[in-house]
Amino acid sequence: GKIEAKIPRGVRTGSRIRLSGKGESGTGDGAAGDLYLKVEVAPHPVFQRDGDDLKVTVPVELYTALLGGKVEAPSLDRTVKLTIPPETANGSVFRLSGLGMPNLRNPDQRGDLYTTVEVQLPQDLNQAEKELFEQLQEMRNRL
């Protein structure tokens, strides 16, 4: 048969959920025992989970990483604006507090969301853009 189970918010792989009275019948017409479900949380296509914290990689254009600006970052229930300071290095991590997983014992508390910057290099530069980058390179070499 089919059994429905309520899965609590913030449940983790390895958690056990007890369904009382849903197990096998006891001996000699005894009451049914309990059924334990062992939870395995499937991987998410966007987020990696670390306890109640979530991790996500955010693509950032080279110009935004150099000059600063805002980018959109996914969180569990909405998209958030992330402020990128000027001269942000590739691999920089920003913590967005309270945007992680709900805590299993206290669902009002949530973990944090850690966003890792992945700087995207511009593709298919035209001749004028290449020349500008070459000028920048020459200026940097003169320093």
Which residue type occupies 29?
D
Per-residue pLDDT, 34: 87
More confident residue, 17 or 97: 97
Q: What is the pLDDT of residues 44-84, one digit of tens each?
A: 889 999 999 999 999 999 999 999 999 999 998 899 999 99
DSSP track, 87-127? TPPTT-EEEETT-SPBPSS-TTSB--EEEEEEEEPP-S--H
Per-residue pLDDT, 107: 80
Q: What is the pLDDT of residues 16-43, one digit of tens each?
A: 888 888 888 777 777 888 888 898 988 8
